[in-house]
Amino acid sequence: MTVRLASPWRRLFLPTLCLLPVLAILIGLGTWQMQRLRWKTELLATFAAAEAGPATRLSDPPLPYAKVFADGHFLHAREVMLGVEVRGATLGAHLVTPLAREGAAPLLVDRGWVPLEEGVITRPEGPVRVEGYIRPGETAGWTSATDDAANRRFYTFDPAAIGAAIGTPDLVSYGLVAMGPLTESLPQPAQHLPRPPNSHLGYVITWYGLALAALGVFVAWARIRLRESA
């Protein structure tokens, strides 16, 4: 009776089946991050172009983060505080005030950062023109801090919730973040459009690198097994 020995290559069949889905997942994650990198790069380029250009008159509905201006007058009696931000050693928040507009619904304006404890805040009366960028409304998630509507302290930029608390339910669903030069007066407006971090290249290198490393380890292991079977 002749016993037929298994081919050394057959010993690699099962490990190869295990390796293929791992490589597919790692390469898929790397490709997804590559797409995210392209999207984020284009988004940052759009922000830079908008910031360099002139502001346009606010139209409804506006594009998110568009650089626009709006005319109206502030309803200072209905202002609220939004979020928490530390600058230097001072705890502060953003002062958000409704802007009443002729022929249009009121608009929440993030006028800028103010300290929570002390500071003289300027509150212009009469007609004003506010230049800044559009901030989309948000919805509170399960990890969001709880708003204190009674004391007008909010942690989520939700125009519907803010409007209900200040007696202005007809607010539009987005806001305007005021931009302007940095001076010693308060509030301190934003200096530029937001710059979301773009770390996707590092993720691309990580996932593709892991795929290459897994393949390299497998090839080295397979050569040893084949050499042992020779």
Q: What is the pLDDT of residues 191-224, one digit of tens each?
A: 888 888 889 999 999 999 999 999 999 999 888 8
The predicted pLDDT at position 15 comes to 84
The predicted pLDDT at position 51 comes to 81
Which pLDDT band, with edges at 50, 70 and 90, does 230 fall under? low
Which pLDDT band, with edges at 50, 70 and 90, does 3 fall under? very low
Residues 31-49 have a mean pLDDT of: 90
Residues 69-95 have a mean pLDDT of: 95
- Collapsing DSSP to helix, strand or coil, 6 comes out as coil
The packing angle between helices 13-52 and 200-229, to 10°, is 160
The predicted pLDDT at position 5 comes to 44
**26 vs 204: CA distance, rounded Å:** 10
| Confidence check: pLDDT of 8 > 80 | no
| Confidence check: pLDDT of 23 > 50 | yes
Total count of residues recorded for the chain? 230
DSSP 8-state symbol, 126? S
More confident residue, 121 or 6: 121
